[in-house]
Amino acid sequence: MSGPGVDSAKTDGGLPPLMPDLFESLAGPGRYGLVGSRCRVCGCRCFPFASHCPKCQVGMDREVVGTRGKIYSYTVVRTKAPFGLPEPYAVGYVDLVESSLRVFGLLDPATIGSLEVGMPVEVTVMPLGVDKEGRRCLRPVFRAWTGMRERSIP
């Protein structure tokens, strides 16, 4: 399954995504969404995409589950970084605005030092680290959200 995001992501530095159909680019400059799924029966959402609902065991539909959120918790990891990630690197759980999912993800390396619980963030994509096969790739990253981008879109 290759959604629209996979193709447009490839134009971003020409690098492949960490895995297929993890994120997609949306209308508006630099806007990305996390791709998950929604149950056809109970309506619950999953991230990343799951083919079957863990509760109902029926099929799920592909859906963008979030573009923005607030940091629920964060840490800066100073061990030897796995998968060629920068040292140090920041990760956190983010409460997504659009789906009320709490998802784990990388946080923008530029925000190390200014991270706070409750900080508004948005989904973007950056060339960070390598994939399982050791190839440089794009990963979804949460970066500080200022609100400016939203207002600039008519």
Partner 1 sequence: MIAGAGNTPFFRHPDRTVLSLAREAGAKALADAGLAPADIGMGFFANALSGKLFGDLTVGQNAFAEMGMPRIPVVNVENACASGSSAVHLACMAIRAGEVECAMVIGAEKMCVPQIGLLSSGDSELDTLLGLVAPASFALRARRHMAEFGTTLEQLAMVTVKSRRHSALNSNAMFRTPVTVEQVLASPMVADPLTRFQSCPNADGASAVIVCSGKVGRRIGTRVAVRASVLASGNYDNPQDLARWRTDYDGISRAYEMAGIGPEELDVVECHDAFSISEILHYEALRLCPPGGGGELLTRGATSLGGRIPVNVSGGLLSRGHPVGATGVEQVVELTRQLRGDAGSRQVDGARVALAHCMGGDRAADTKSMTAIVLAT
Residues within the interface to partner 1 (CB under 8 A): 18-19, 22, 46, 48, 54, 72-83, 85, 89, 91-93, 95, 100-102, 104-106, 117, 131-132, 139-140
Query: What residues pair up with 106 in beta bridges, in sequence order?
Result: 91, 141
Q: How far is the CB of 152 from partner 1 (least distance, A)?
A: 29
Q: How far is the CB of 96 from partner 1 (least distance, A)?
A: 10
Query: What residues pair up with 125 in beta bridges, in sequence order?
Result: 140
Residue 149: its H or E element: helix 148-152
Three-state helix/strand/coil letters over 51-96:
CECCCCCCEEEEEEEECEEEEEEEEEECCCCHHHCCCCEEEEEEEE
Which of 4/54 has CB closer to partner 1? Answer: 54
For 83, phi then psi, to 5°, come to: 55, 35
Which of 75/150 has CB closer to partner 1? Answer: 75
Which of 142/145 has CB closer to partner 1? Answer: 142
Q: How far is the CB of 113 from partner 1 (least distance, A)?
A: 11
Helices and strands in the chain: count of H runs, count of E runs: 2, 9
Q: How far is the CB of 54 from partner 1 (least distance, A)?
A: 7
Which of 137/148 has CB closer to partner 1? Answer: 137
